[in-house]
Amino acid sequence: MRRRQFWALVAPSVVVMFGFMLVPLYRTLRWSFERVNYGEAGTFIGLANYQAALSDPRLGRAVVFTIGLTVVVGVVCLVLGYVLATLVNGLGRARPVVLGILLISYVSPHIVGAVAFSWLFDSNFGGIVDYLLNAVTGGAFGEPLWFTSTWPNRLIIVLNVVWFMLPFSMLLILAGLQGVSAEMMEAAQIDGASPLQRHLYVIVPSIRGVLGFVVLILTMDVVRVFDSLIPLAPQSLTNGNESLMVYIYRVAFAEATRNLGLGSAISVLTILLILVLLLPSIRSVVKEARA
C-alpha cells in the first residue's frame, strides 16, 4: 500500500481520534497547571496542583487501593477464567446457552449490575446474602457492614468487579483454546501426560499470548473502574476504598470545591501510572511490528 493511500484511508479515524482526544487531553494538561473554574479561563499557578496532589495522603491511598484491586481481580479472573473456559470448551449442545448466561453480567451496564449487587448486601434493601450467610453459618459472621467497614466493603467490590470482568477473560481464553493444536494434545496424551500436566505444559504455554492480552485488558479496565464503585463504595473516602477514578471525579466534579486544576493534575499523574503499567505491552507491540 502506498503512503498516500494509507493516509487517505486512516484520515477520518485519525481526525476523529486525535482531534477529539488530543484537544481534551491538552486541556487537561493545561488545567493541571492552573487554578480554574468550569467555563472560565484559568490562571497559571505552576506546579501547585501537583504539589497539592502529591502531598495529600489521599492520592497514595487511592493508588494503593486501585493497584491492589487490579492485582487481585487480575489474578482471580485469570485463574477462574481459565477454569471456566476449559469447562465451557468441553460442552456440546449446551454451550451457546451457557455462554449466553455467563455473558449477561459482562454486557449489562456496570452501574446497573453494581446497583443490583448492592441490593444483595444492603440490609436496608433486603440483603439476601446477609440473610443466607446467617442462615448457613448460624450468625458466625454477624452482620458485616458491607458498605462502611473497610474489608467487607473491599470484598464486595472485588466480588463485583470479578463478576463483570470474569466473562470477558473466560471469552478470550476460550477463544485462545480454539487455537491449541490438536496434534500436540494427542502427542501429550500418548506420552501419558495427566490432565493437569497437559494444562500446565501444553495448553497454558501455547495460549501465552492470549493470557498476556487478558492481563493487558484487565489492567486497563480495572484501573479505570468507576461505575460500580458509585453504588458499592459510597463511604470510600472514609474507609480507604477510594479508587483513582472516584478520587478524580470527586475532586474535579462532585465535591463542592470542584477543583478542576487539582483533578486534572491527578488525571495527568494517573496517565503516567497507566503508561508505566502498559510499558511491557507497548514494547511487545513494537517488537511484533518490527518482525
Partner 1 sequence: MTVEIAGTDARSARTPVQAAGDVTRRRPRPGRSRMAVVSAILLAVTCLLMVFPFVWAALASTKPTDVAFANPPVFRYTPTFSAYVDLWQTTDFYLYLINTVVVAVISTVVALLVGIPCAYALSRYGGVASVVLLILALVFRALPRFAVVLPMYDITRSLGIYDTTYAMAAALIVINQPFTIWLLRNFFAEIPRELDEAAMVDGCTRVGVLTRIMVPLMGPGILTAGIFVFLFAFQEYLTAAVLTDTTSKTVPVFIATQLGQNLPLLQQASAATVLLTLPVVGIAFIAQKYLVAGLASGAVKG
Region 64-103 residues binding partner 1, contact defined as CB under 8 A = 84, 87-91, 96-103
Q: Is the dihedral of CA 276, 168, 25, 57 positive or negative?
A: negative
- Residue 169 CB partners (closer than 8 Å, separation 6+): 77, 78, 80, 81, 214, 217, 218
Q: Contacting partner 1 (CB under 8 A), which of 71, 75, 200, 286?
A: 286
Contact 252, 264 (CB under 8 A): yes
Binding span for partner 1 by CB under 8 A among 18-26, 54-62, 69-77, 149-157: 18-26
The β-bridge partners of 44 are 34
* Count of residues that interact with partner 1, criterion CB under 8 A: 110
Smallest gap from Cβ 151 to partner 1, in A, equals: 21
What DSSP letter does each residue of 178-221 carry, written as one string? Answer: TTS-HHHHHHHHHTT--HHHHIIIIIHHHTHHHHHHHHHHHHHH
Type of residue numbered 3:
R
Binding span for partner 1 by CB under 8 A among 45-53, 70-78, 145-153, 169-177: 169-177
CB closer to partner 1, 28 vs 150 = 28
Q: Contacting partner 1 (CB under 8 A), which of 67, 177, 204, 237?
A: 177
Of 241, 245, 254, give the one whose Cα is nearest residue 273: 245
Q: Contacting partner 1 (CB under 8 A), which of 47, 64, 75, 285?
A: 285
Site string for partner 1, 103-142 (x = CB under 8 A): xxxxxxxxxxx-xxx-xx--xxxxxx-xx-----------
Q: Contacting partner 1 (CB under 8 A), which of 70, 169, 236, 264?
A: 264
Smallest gap from Cβ 39 to partner 1, in A, equals: 6
CB closer to partner 1, 123 vs 149 = 123
Binding positions for partner 1, 211-250, rule CB under 8 A? 213, 220, 223-224, 226-227, 230-231, 244-245, 248-249
Binding span for partner 1 by CB under 8 A among 43-51, 54-62, 146-154, 270-278: 270-278
Query: Any idea which residue has 511487545 for its cell?
Result: 284
Of 65, 103, 36, give the one whose Cα is nearest residue 264: 36
**Running DSSP on this structure, what letter comes out for residue 6?**
H
